[in-house]
Chains A and B, each alone.
Chain A
Amino acid sequence: MNAVSLPLVTGPSLDSFGLDTVWVVLLKAVLIFAVLVVLTLFNIWFERRVVARMQHRIGPNVNGPFGLLQSLADGVKLALKEDIIPTRADKVVFILAPIICVVPAFVTFAVIPFGPEVTIPFTDTVTPLQLTDMPVAVLFVMAIASIGIYGIVLGGWASGSTYSLLGGLRSSAQMISYEVAMGLALISVFLFAGSVSTSEIVAAQGDLWFGLILAPAFIIYVIAMVGETNRAPFDLPEAEGELVGGFHTEYSSLKFALFFLAEYINMVTVSALATTLFLGGWHAPFGIGAIWEGANEGYWPLLWFFGKVFFFMFIFVWLRGTLPRMRYDQFMDFGWKRLIPVALGWTVLVAVMRLITIEETFDRQSLLITLGVITGLLVVAMFVPSFGAARDEAETEEPDAPAKPAGAFPVPPMPATGAVRGAAPPLTFADSGPRPGPAQAEES
């Protein structure tokens, strides 16, 4: 083992966990719970204010200072609304779905490290600022977060409504599509950290954040996390233009609020995970640690941690304020045909690079030559028509999948020229009225 594979350990490791007494565990659990609920209320307000600024509006500013209590008021309003269970709904599953959705959202936070080991005020108990950790913590987050998808798809299914069903299906297909890219992006982090435990991954980033040395994985993760949380520009399950509200069309009152809560907690979760895995977790940003020695001790790391989380929250809001919603096929194409190949290639590349560094098989010169060759190949590859383009050509000369045999599910016919790609051709009108227009100009 050499210096590369044995990073500087600063902070708690797996051995620091499992030592808490019952009341410390309960205290931490209640605190996490409270923080998440308050964060949700704050984030909703934050999002509305920021989006409003981006759209030259003011946003909620009436209830409380700066309108901070707006979300709370909305929550109370929801609680006072009628709790509707549609007649065609599957009652049990309909009621269970929001619970299934929201519980995992909370539970994932059990393994997120907020800070180093601290002394609880007014006592001399020392404990890490993290509920627990486990050797497979990141996998635990992924696994529990996947259970949340059940809530969405079951809610959509149990509503007994077309919009809900389609929304639920879409969102589950979307989440699992982007989970693959997300998982592949995480592989390179595990590879460098040599661990799947969150606290050890944070410890491994003592001197250099993974977000910098593994930038492609970081970018893939950020894209995938937006897709995972069904947020704009990937908010297709709730595409109000086509699906009304998506899977929660039929939900009202506090059940609706639970779905809402789950969505916002999930945003915080993926942001916190991104912080933990790529931005050094609770470590102070560069420079600060060098100037000020106490930056990584005591309760100060909470500041850095939440600062980084809010950085991601701002990105979420920024995306929503900036980008239009993608079309579903574009979205799936992007996930399956762009992100996954890139993530796979990156995983192999990063493994090779690391092995070369560890083994020192090649000297620096041959390493540079290899990199040059790879870059050259990539540049050449850019000029080769992509898979998709090749397939489109193949499609025109030989129809691959048979369209619809007799008795198949009825769908409206496709345009004669196939699916519309790019801008639609301008409309032309058969009747030639007195009004001159571009359509007539084209005809003549």
Chain B
Amino acid sequence: MYPARFDYQAPATLDEALDVLGERGEDVKVLAGGQSLIPLMKLRFAQPSMLVDINRIPGLDFIDASNGYLRIGALVRHNSVVTSDVVRRTNQTVAHAAPWVSDPIVRNLGTVCGSLAHADPQGDWASVMLACGAEVVARKKSGERVIPMTEFITDVFTTQLEPDELVTEVRVPKYAGPSGGTYLKLERKVGDYATVGVATHLTLDAAGRIVQAGIAMTAVGATNIKAVEAERALIGAEPTADAFTQASRLAAQASEPQDDVRGSAAYKRHVVEVFVHRGLATAAELARAA
């Protein structure tokens, strides 16, 4: 299968890339890992007139934990997250999710930021970032803005990004206090999209109570869903099985799964409930050990 014809540029600097986006923004796509974009182009669901390949731009493949954030640059591949000690030390939700993204070969090219910008409701990273309170940094020629993850994805395959903007990094705040988190994913086979995915995160205070809670769900709605009411119910609570039961029910209610080849809506909602409970229990255990 072949994509429609397109022009191709591989700029050597970020400024050059932003210039091209500024000039031809509307119909240009940014090529990072290409593991979602190229299949879409081959199927002719996407027909950009130009690709701006950012892979030759130095300095975009950083994973960095300074200034209060875990920062993941635009060219960080999923597999670089899998093997990163910095990630493992800084954020367990991110660390646990990385090996479950697609398959090992796709992970060698696909990028975290590209996956977020692609905004597939079955993408794993958006749930992780929603649960962790992350922000996306987007740049265009005239400047930079920071977009909270809760506002970044607006619809199926749709984000707030302007045509002339490029995601340069996603950053996850470091938590004040003992924290834990995980990502649970049910998939039919390696590389398949999630039947259900659930990202969880908890931060405890000195007395062991929950001061921060993050829960977000993959593949059970038109976008990744942040289970806001479930999160709210946990704030100030002891991390007990009862609290997790209540939160998992609220999260299941907030999910909007549909019947499809991967399972019935009722089945998926049940999996959400089980995964939220299990994920929170693991997060609490990890936080207590932190």
Q: Note whether A and B form a binding pair.
A: no
Interface residues of A (CB under 8 A from B): none
